[in-house]
Chains A and B, each alone.
Chain A
Amino acid sequence: MSILTKMLKKKQVQRKNDNYRQKLDPSKPEELVIQKDYSANVSRIEEELGHSADLVIRQINIGIVNGALLFIDGIVDGKGISEFVVETLMDKQISSREVDVFQYVMDQTVALGSIKTITNWNDLYNALLSGCTIILLNGYNKAISGETRGGELRSIAEPTQQLAIRGPKDAFTETLRTNTALIRRRIKSPNLWVESMKIGKVSQTDIALLYIKGIAEEEIIQEVKERLQRIDIDAIMDSGYIEQLIEEQTFTSFPTTYHTERPDVVSSQLLEGRVAIIADGSPFVLTVPALFVQFFQAPDDYYSRFDLSTSVRLLRIISFLIALIGPSLYIAATTFHQEMIPTTLAIAIAAQRENVPFPAFVEALIMEVTFEILREAGLRLPRAVGQAVSIVGALVIGQAAVQASIVSPVMVIVVSITAIANFSTPVFAMAIAARLLRFALMVMAALIGFYGIMVGLMIMAIHLCSLRSFGVPYMAPLAPFSGPNQQDVFIRYPFWAFKDRPKFIVKGNVVRTGENQKPKPPKQSSHKSDKLEENES
């Protein structure tokens, strides 16, 4: 580990850290100011953008003042530009010289969403490249930027990763604004604050930071901001980049940030005092702090009644354990602790393994790896071919391998149960952790049986207890244990008893549900129904 960090450090020294963030050096302010001569400005833009093909420049004349309208084709709403900008400006004729044309244009284009005045080249490039329309007028050392973002975008679709039987069916898209809108629509509170920043020296990706003022702790918000500002990378392609750059500890296979594509999940987490980070171009929204128990909470848990959701949640936890230790239990039981297996079963397994040439560990490894390959292949292949792969896989794993005496039928059962159990973890990031650790536990089991599994689990427990997510202990509220916070851990309390927000995240504003929320039958209801019956008869 130490060698690795040393190497990284050395490279950093050698690397010249090019600053792409600002095209122009802010230390020379005179270069940053927009010139009065509009044609000089236009040609400068053309030059600096390398005469890019998607840069559209249109000459406009407003009265006697010449000007230019600039935008990047494809990322702007073309219809909006023609309707609101071009038409409104072209129709009008200004005769008087006295009128301040700049102000006039600003007034006329008010039909657009947001209008800004830009005096600085950096802002101009930022606006232009993120889809704004720039109007340059001759004789003014400033520009107008109109919000015309648009173009071809994916519309809101159903979630593909986190499915729920009941509950809203919309999912985040790649557009930042749509995503914030999806949340804003759910929480119509003035306290929902959206802060934005740009990360990525080259990509200049828009990042939005969402939280509910008054619920989320200031310390956490500050911490998130600091960590985001510290990021120095050329581009952010997905929120996954951010996740890996703001994590507290990177040498862990457990996720310490939560990501979701469901706006309802993000909204409810904001209400629990968490902070959401949305990156433009990524349909996955991060929320922090993320805790271990959170990864076993599915959106359905809150949409169906508590008894059902509690039992389903327990099932999920059990299946996580199965996914984690299933194959290693098999290895340990068949190679170290044969006395544990009931006699008849032991004989049956022995009979099945009679013709298998490999030790149990190798057998398990072959099957697990085969399965992982199939899964990965199924994921990458085009949908049409994917089906074929799964059929072949089912035949290979299910039958041919058994008939060829490469693995025993019990092993097939173990692998399938493990695989299915693994799919029941609601968040993929946690499922993949179980997937990875499973192999480590298999090695431990092959080494020294249950003792190895126990040691493995203990190390895992120690590791989990040592993790923190934005200052909150990862295993809270289990360790450190907190009684009042068990409302949403193993048992999802009914909403009338589910009174508090998680207190280890929210310190001040903890009241979620008011008093006396337990539904009761209306008084004298029996009386009424009796009367009804009388009337009917």
Chain B
Amino acid sequence: MKKLVLVFILIIFSIPILGGCWNQRELTDLALVLAVGIDKGEGDKKYDVTFQVVVPGNVASGQNGGGGQGPPVVVYESSGDSITEASRKATKKIPRRLYYAHTSIVVIGEELAREGIYNILDPMDRDPEFRTTTVVIIAKDKRAEDIISILTNLDKLPMNRFIKTLESAEAMLGENIKLNIDDLIGAITSPGKEPVISGFVLEGSPEKGTSPQNISTTRPPAMVSVDGLGVIRGGKLVGWLNNFHVRGAVWLLNKMKGTEIKFDFEGKKDAVTTTPYLSDTDVSVTFKNGKPFANVDIDTAFKLSEMDTDFDIEDPHKIEELEKKTSDVIKKEVEAAIKEAQKYKADIFGFGERIHKSNPKRWKELKDDWDNQFAKMDYKIQVHSYYRESGVRGKPFWSDMNK
């Protein structure tokens, strides 16, 4: 009996030695893919996929201290009729196994986005190796490979650069949204909601951006920057929200973390700039005359950050006016965003989803024709903003000089 057990244990433990180690792979045998770019195929294949692979020796300070000489990443291109095909074909050029667990960004070329993104999301959703927190962006007016190939400064790894830019712009300006694959798929599948994806543009020449010159000068010839929100309907990019439209959408989606608002004051143009920093948006959808009707309620607190006109900021009336003007600007932006979205017939704010949750019976009736219903929808926007502080100074320094 004991011998039997012993033999069995021996057999079990010799299996991995005989069969090679299945899931074992040394870190140095992996090509860590940091970013994937997917474009419409230029050749006869359906997709062109670019892989941004890190060159560890050039990023981290090696054993002798200091980074290596070459660029921190290398970009491989491959094409195929499916993403998997492209990924597997790429190994013809790459000496290591492509490893996606550290992929933190997926760039989709605008051309492909306009044709539809359903097909390309499935492999990433399915593969357990892929992080569900991978961020998706669209390369506005450009191919994804151009964006992926750019070398960046400040952050050695371009993908860090993208993510951090997205985060800082989201926190400071409120003109984009960091969206990961899970949320994207969630929004696509939810019947009463459409996703929006942040766009990235390339300023300057794509060719120069790939050379080390791009990181060795103080004014890089090519730069990537966040710009606009792509509106997706039915899995296709239908248009872009720009500037204040984006801000309106961000307000509505309750993702506003900070932005700037300027308005005329006491007859002077753009005299005051305020920065909202705390906000809460409450959206409810009710029915008015049998038609859906959205109530948007925004509360925000702001600081005064710049004034170009002299007034007494301790005067309650002035403060009231400040609050009202700030609210008005926000309201206008939100209105504009809703109108823009209605133009695209894309319910990016999730009004439909709200009906589904609060009134599932009515939703069943509305579901099939929701895009059109949304386009015709009426709404009411209420903004309450609260003045909090004006920094460490009261009056501007020049207020007495002028007298």
Contact = CB atoms under 8 A, between A and B. Distances in A.
A2 B1 CA distance: 11
Given A1-B2, A343-B32, A402-B63, A349 B27 contact: yes
A392 interface: no
B81 to A, nearest CB: 28
B26 interface: yes
A56 interface: no
B23 A449 contact: yes
Give the interface centre of A355, A356, A359, A409 by most chain B CB atoms within 10 Å: A359
Contacts of A536: none
A395 interface: no
Contact of A334 (B23, B26, B54): B26
Given A338-B99, A447-B13, A346 B27 contact: yes
A350 B101 contact: no
Given A343-B102, A351-B56, A338 B27 contact: yes
Interface in B26-77: 26-28, 30, 32, 34, 54, 56-57, 59-63
A485 to B, nearest CB: 36
A410 B23 CA distance: 22
Give the interface centre of A347, A348, A352, A356 by most chain B CB atoms within 10 Å: A347
Interface residues of B, number: 28
A501 interface: no
Contacts of B23: 336, 448-449
B24 interface: yes
A294 B365 CA distance: 69
Contacts of A447: 13, 16, 21
A41 interface: no
Given A338-B101, A339-B102, A339-B129, A347 B59 contact: yes
B62 A336 contact: no
B16 A351 contact: no
A447 B101 CA distance: 21
B180 to A, nearest CB: 15
B214 interface: no
Contacts of A346: 27, 32, 102
Contact of B104 (A336, A343, A352, A409): A343
Nearest to A403: B63
Contacts of B288: none
A409 B57 CA distance: 14
B53 to A, nearest CB: 11
A360 interface: yes
A350 B62 CA distance: 10
Nearest to B17: A447
A184 B290 CA distance: 94
Contacts of A335: 24-27
B62 to A, nearest CB: 5
Nearest to A342: B102
Contacts of A448: 16, 23
A454 B293 CA distance: 56
A274 interface: no
Nearest to A361: B24
Chain A contact-residue range equals 20 to 34
A473 to B, nearest CB: 25
Contacts of B104: 343
Contact of A352 (B16, B34, B63): B63
Contacts of B157: 347
B54 A347 contact: yes
A98 interface: no
A349 B62 CA distance: 9
Contact of A353 (B13, B28, B59, B129): B28
Is the contact region of chain A dominated by helix, strand, or loop, or is it mixed?
Answer: helix
A428 to B, nearest CB: 31
A398 to B, nearest CB: 13
B166 to A, nearest CB: 16
A2 B2 contact: yes
B26 A353 contact: yes
A39 interface: no
Nearest to A443: B13
Contacts of A350: 27-28, 30, 32, 54, 56, 60
Nearest to B25: A335
A511 B16 CA distance: 56
B26 A359 contact: yes
Interface string A384-410: 000000000000000000110100110
A354 interface: yes
A405 B63 contact: yes
Interface string A429-458: 000000000000000001111000000000
Interface string A82-99: 000000000000000000
B57 A354 contact: yes
A90 B73 CA distance: 101
B51 to A, nearest CB: 15
Nearest to B54: A347
Nearest to A355: B63
Contacts of A343: 32, 34, 102, 104
A350 B102 CA distance: 13
Contacts of B57: 351, 354
A347 B56 contact: yes
A444 B243 CA distance: 56
A349 B56 CA distance: 8
A447 B59 CA distance: 30
A334 B63 CA distance: 18
Given A347-B56, A409-B63, A447-B13, A353 B27 contact: yes
Interface string A327-370: 00000001110110001001111111111100110000000000
Contacts of A334: 26-27
Contacts of A348: 56, 59-61
B156 to A, nearest CB: 10
A334 B16 CA distance: 18
A338 B30 contact: yes
Interface in B129-163: 129, 131, 157
Contacts of B34: 343
Give the interface centre of A335, A402, A403 by most chain B CB atoms within 10 Å: A335
Nearest to A360: B26
Contacts of A405: 63
Contacts of B21: 447
B160 to A, nearest CB: 8
A341 to B, nearest CB: 8
Interface string B112-135: 000000000000000001010000
B99 A354 contact: no
B100 to A, nearest CB: 9
Interface string B236-270: 00000000000000000000000000000000000
A460 to B, nearest CB: 16
A351 B62 contact: yes
A339 B54 CA distance: 15
Given A334-B27, A448-B16, A449-B23, A354 B2 contact: no
Give the interface centre of A346, A350, A355, A448 by most chain B CB atoms within 10 Å: A350
A454 B29 CA distance: 25
B30 A352 contact: no
A251 to B, nearest CB: 13
A515 B145 CA distance: 77
Interface in A309-340: 334-336, 338-339
**A-B residue pairs, 7 tightest by C-beta:** A339-B101, A351-B56, A351-B60, A350-B56, A348-B60, A343-B102, A350-B27
Given A338-B32, A347-B56, A348-B59, 7 more contacts: A336-B24, A339-B102, A347-B32, A350-B30, A355-B63, A360-B27, A447-B13
27 contacts: A1-B2, A334-B26, A334-B27, A335-B24, A336-B23, A336-B24, A343-B102, A343-B104, A347-B54, A347-B59, A348-B56, A350-B27, A350-B60, A351-B59, A351-B60, A351-B61, A351-B62, A352-B62, A354-B62, A359-B26, A360-B27, A402-B63, A403-B63, A447-B21, A448-B16, A448-B23, A449-B23
Interface of A: 1-2, 334-336, 338-339, 343, 346-356, 359-360, 402-403, 405, 408-409, 446-449
